[in-house]
Amino acid sequence: MEGASGGFVDAIKRGSWREAPGLSERDIALCTVAEKMSANPTKMVEEDWRPLRDMGFDDEACLEVGHIIGIFNYLTRMADGFGLLLDPGTEKAGETGVALERAAAE
């Protein structure tokens, strides 16, 4: 979630994102799809997409959600598989929950 609080990040780390305060219905629907698609992609069925569809997500939007989930899964598996380490700034952000700041456009 863009702009997510440190509490949300901590809840994800504990595996209890559903308990994070302030999640919108949209956030919950997206996280639920991401969780299942990441852990059990072969078990995904049309009904798993229903909450997003009910919010107006069409085929293209659902495909975009799926692509983003897939890309994040792919990239973390590649990084883990090659033993890549986080840079110190990213490591600190992960430990403290304070988001990295984007570089200013030049």
The pTM assigned to this predicted structure is 0.76
The total number of structural domains in the chain stands at 1
Query: From CA 59, how far away is CA 24, in angstroms rounded?
Result: 22
Question: Taking 80 as the threshold, does the pLDDT of residue 1 lie above it?
Answer: no
At residue 97 the predicted structure's pLDDT band, cuts being 50, 70 and 90, is confident
Q: What CATH number should be reported for the domain holding residue 68?
A: 1.20.1290.10
27-61 tens-digit pLDDT = 999 999 999 999 999 999 999 999 999 999 999 99
The answer to whether residue 21 sits within a structural domain is yes
Domain-embedded: residue 105: no
